[in-house]
């Protein structure tokens, strides 16, 4: 068989190049092989370029339909392939998937530049834009037109000659660097494991943590117990292990990822990325990358962000200092012989919380069996929005841990496919996220319902226990489910305005408001049942949980602000950065620090949100959204936490609308007023 025939055979059997005869046209994961991606991307790239060329070469006068809408639907087949690839690269990757992603990333950047830097295409878009007031555009047409036009301008369409060429080079290089940053962190996370052979080194750890570590060792065919840098394992060890020396080892391993003198070091990648972002911003007429980003955010400019962060800092700093002193005194009183270090904070904080409130997180875990929590979250969506969830085992999944559900609206109509994928594995990035494999859209009356994924890293079941979640894991699931609702309930015409395609500092409102239900007894009673006894979670335990909710709220706020300040510092540079990464970082976060720096540790080299995600100059958005969610949930507290009228307003004015209107307009339509910071300060105990 010739090479050409082999290529033809691959293309003929390539599932990306054929129709999907699966439930709801979900990806046929069982048929997708690594070798299918590059031929499919090459073929769909060529088709997408032809679609763009057809718009450009049209002899008809530019109109909203033949230019703006045509551009909106360009590359649908390409999106179908890349959405699967990038989801797999986060949730179920391997060296081959990573290599494929690296290979196609420059091609995708080149195609993006082919559109954004195409003078003839921009001229057609500009023609429609300049005539916008004369056109009969709908409430969704106008923001799409404005978004397309500004998208070209912000992507260098007005640049000429060498400047336009340099812009394209920057975009391609940033794409490569972002991928490399992410791969380095995953590799460093997977490379470390703490192997314990002496049972005395397990002192302080709950039985569930020990059993999970034993199961990990068994899976790796190693004697003893293994702890890793993946979330559930690392967090549990730092919180409960009595052995300070081992806590220090784990802490140093976690906080030095991307900071070792090896081929996974991210320091030069950071310098290159922030310098390239600065260069791009200046090419486009902005002083800094932060100015460029915030021009399309609720906050609008860096000054307002810094004022906001400073306002929260002023409110939280006294409490943080008081809380810090309390932990130091507590540790001293129970006989610690060494000065408090960063790797001691979680350990002694947990003990102080237990002593202060009689609350130990292990007390609530038996009531948070993963399957029951999922039922509770689904039930909440049913009570608020009338949704129902049905598992469909005929829908292909990309890993045996993933489960697929069909989601139906209150009138019985199909809404969405929802994938849930909960447990850590070596091919999965850390953390938790929601994504879509297909956004909702209704272009030209063709209704496309979304395909949504929720990916987490929760505690796995063991041989003797089901997966029992920490309270933090329960709130994480609620958070990501809020994002999922934003995607599943989308009701917009155009995919680029659908679901979570909103301003970055608004996107966390639908997710963070869901976390508020985690301490509501009326909701907990629906599912929080002891996995052995079958008893509902006791009222006194819920009260302890509520009392402990704001434990060290000042310290937690300062920690979150340190991330936001670090992010803003990196993306507010006005001259190329050539200095030391750690010195720069420490200067940025100094106002929030309570501990002395730890030599060999660096936050930035593993700060994936801003260097491998979409939060550059936007990490403040989490706190910004906290203001929104506290203010918004105060309406539910007034009207009832299951109030269907309030939920219907949230759905109609925010969840369905996506990015079709300015976020403040949407928020005021729901709330009746602009958000106030007071409910957040009151909820967190920073203001009585």
- State whether the Cα torsion 318-320-324-326 is positive or negative: positive
pLDDT > 70 fraction of the chain, expressed in percent and rounded: 98
The residue with tokens 């809404």 is 415
Q: Which of the two residues, 684 and 80, has the higher pLDDT score?
A: 80
**CA 10, CA 13: separation in Å to the nearest integer?**
5
**CA 342, CA 340: separation in Å to the nearest integer?**
7
**CA 257, CA 191: separation in Å to the nearest integer?**
10
What is the pLDDT at residue 424?
93
Cβ atoms of 139 and 267 closer than 8 Å:
no
Tokens coding 102: 């690296």
Closest to 220 in 3D by CA, of 182, 245, 192, 243: 192
**Residue 25's Cα: distance from chain center in Å?**
25
Cβ atoms of 556 and 367 closer than 8 Å:
no
**C-alpha distance from residue 463 to each of 208, 251, 363 (Å):** 11, 28, 20
**CA 620, CA 561: separation in Å to the nearest integer?**
7
Cβ atoms of 66 and 129 closer than 8 Å:
no
Q: What angle do CA 519, 525, 528 make, to 5 degrees?
A: 80
SS3 for 391?
Answer: strand
Cβ atoms of 498 and 492 closer than 8 Å:
yes
What is the pLDDT at residue 2?
34
Residue 360 has pLDDT above 90, yes or no: no
Residue 621 has pLDDT above 50, yes or no: yes
pLDDT by residue (tens digit) across 389-446?
A: 999 999 999 999 999 999 999 999 999 999 999 999 999 998 999 999 999 999 999 9
Choosing from 188, 480, 558, 626, the catalytic residue is 480
CATH dotted code for 3-158: 1.10.1370.40
pLDDT by residue (tens digit) across 624-670?
A: 999 999 999 999 999 999 999 999 999 999 999 999 999 999 999 99
Number of other residues whose CB lies within 10 A of the CB of residue 325: 11
Q: Report the DSSP beta bridge partners of residue 226.
A: 195
Angle separating helix axes 621-639 and 302-333, nearest 10 degrees? 80
Residue 456 has pLDDT above 60, yes or no: yes
Residue 274 has pLDDT above 70, yes or no: yes
pLDDT by residue (tens digit) across 579-596?
A: 999 999 999 999 999 999
Cβ atoms of 27 and 437 closer than 8 Å:
yes
Please, which residues have CB within 8 angstroms of residue 1's CB and are 6 or more apart in sequence? 9
Same CATH fold assignment for domains 3-158 and 261-357+550-688: yes
The full set of domain ranges for the chain reads: 3-158, 192-255, 261-357+550-688, 366-530
Q: Considering only the top CATH level, what class is 261-357+550-688?
A: mainly alpha
Catalytic residue list contains 287: no
Tokens coding 659: 């990015």
Residue 1 has pLDDT above 50, yes or no: no
Closest to 177 in 3D by CA, of 579, 482, 612: 612
**CA 77, CA 2: separation in Å to the nearest integer?**
28
SS3 for 501?
Answer: coil
Residue 7 has pLDDT above 50, yes or no: no
DSSP conformational letter for 414: E
Tokens coding 278: 């600065």
CA dihedral of 510, 512, 515, 517, whole degrees rounded to 10: -50
Please, which residues have CB within 8 angstroms of residue 87's CB and are 6 or more apart in sequence? 398, 435, 437, 453
The CATH classification of domain 366-530, taken from the options 3.40.50.11900, 3.20.20.140, 1.10.1370.40, 3.90.400.10? 1.10.1370.40
pLDDT > 90 fraction of the chain, expressed in percent and rounded: 90
């Amino acid at each position: 068989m010739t090479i050409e025939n082999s290529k033809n055979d691959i293309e003929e059997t390539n599932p990306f190049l054929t129709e999907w005869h699966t439930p709801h046209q979900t990806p046929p994961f069982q048929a997708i092989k690594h070798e299918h991606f590059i031929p499919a991307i090459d073929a769909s790239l060529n088709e997408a370029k032809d679609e763009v060329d057809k718009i450009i070469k049209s002899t008809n006068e530019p109109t909203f339909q033949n230019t703006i809408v045509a551009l909106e639907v360009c590359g649908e087949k390409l999106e179908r392939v890349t959405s699967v690839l990038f989801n797999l690269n986060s949730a179920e990757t391997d060296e081959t998937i990573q290599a494929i992603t690296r290979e196609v990333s420059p091609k995708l950047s080149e195609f993006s530049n082919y559109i954004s830097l195409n003078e003839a295409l921009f001229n057609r878009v500009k023609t429609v834009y300049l005539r916008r007031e004369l056109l009969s555009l709908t409430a969704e047409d106008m923001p799409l037109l404005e978004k397309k036009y500004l998208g070209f301008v912000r992507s260098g369409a007005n640049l000429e000659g060498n400047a336009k060429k340099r812009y394209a080079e920057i975009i391609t290089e940033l794409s490569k660097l972002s991928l490399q940053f992410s791969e380095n962190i995953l590799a460093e996370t997977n490379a470390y494991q703490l192997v314990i052979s002496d049972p005395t080194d397990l002192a302080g750890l709950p039985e569930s943590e020990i059993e999970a570590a034993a199961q990990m060792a068994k899976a790796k065919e190693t004697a003893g117990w293994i702890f890793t840098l993946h979330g559930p394992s690392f967090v549990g060890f730092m919180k409960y292990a009595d052995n300070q020396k081992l806590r220090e080892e784990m802490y140093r391993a976690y906080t030095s990822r991307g900071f070792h003198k090896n081929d996974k070091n991210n320091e030069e990648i950071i310098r290159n990325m922030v310098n390239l972002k600065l260069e791009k911003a200046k090419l486009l007429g902005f002083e800094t990358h932060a100015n460029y980003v915030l021009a399309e955010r609720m906050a609008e400019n860096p000054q307002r962000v810094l004022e906001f962060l400073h306002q929260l800092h002023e409110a939280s700093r006294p409490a943080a200092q008081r809380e810090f002193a309390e932990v130091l005194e507590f540790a001293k009183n129970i006989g610690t012989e060494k000065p408090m270090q960063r790797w001691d904070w979680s350990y002694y904080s947990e003990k102080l919380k237990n002593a202060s409130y009689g609350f130990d997180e292990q007390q609530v875990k038996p009531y948070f069996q993963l399957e029951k929590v999922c039922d509770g979250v689904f039930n909440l969506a049913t009570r608020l929005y009338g949704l129902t969830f049905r598992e469909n085992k005929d829908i292909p999944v990309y890993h045996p841990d993933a489960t697929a559900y069909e989601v139906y609206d209150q009138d019985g109509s199909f809404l969405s496919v929802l994938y849930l994928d909960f447990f850590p594995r070596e091919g999965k990035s850390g953390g938790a996220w929601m994504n879509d494999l297909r956004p909702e859209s209704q272009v030209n009356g063709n209704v496309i319902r979304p395909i949504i994924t929720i990916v987490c890293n929760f505690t796995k079941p063991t041989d003797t226990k089901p997966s029992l979640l920490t309270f933090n894991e329960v709130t994480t699931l609620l958070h990501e489910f809020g994002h999922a609702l934003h995607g599943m309930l989308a009701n917009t015409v155009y995919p680029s305005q659908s679901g979570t395609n909103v301003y970055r500092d608004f996107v966390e409102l639908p997710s963070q408001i869901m976390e508020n239900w985690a301490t509501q007894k009326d909701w907990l009673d629906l599912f929080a049942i002891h996995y052995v006894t079958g008893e509902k979670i006791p009222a006194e335990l819920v009260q302890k949980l509520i009392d402990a909710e704001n434990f060290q709220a000042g310290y937690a706020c300062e920690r979150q602000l340190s991330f936001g300040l670090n992010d803003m510092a990196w993306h507010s540079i006005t001259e190329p950065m050539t200095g030391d990464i750690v010195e720069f970082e420490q200067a940025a976060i100094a106002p929030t620090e309570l501990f002395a720096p730890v030599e060999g540790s660096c936050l930035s080299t593993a700060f994936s949100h801003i260097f491998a995600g979409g939060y550059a100059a936007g990490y403040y958005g989490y706190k910004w959204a906290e203001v929104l969610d506290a203010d918004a949930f105060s309406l539910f507290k007034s009207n009832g936490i299951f109030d269907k009228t309030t939920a219907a307003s949230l759905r109609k004015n925010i969840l369905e609308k996506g990015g079709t209107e300015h976020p403040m307009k949407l928020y005021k339509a729901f709330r009746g007023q602009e958000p106030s910071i007071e409910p957040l300060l009151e909820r967190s105990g920073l203001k009585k």
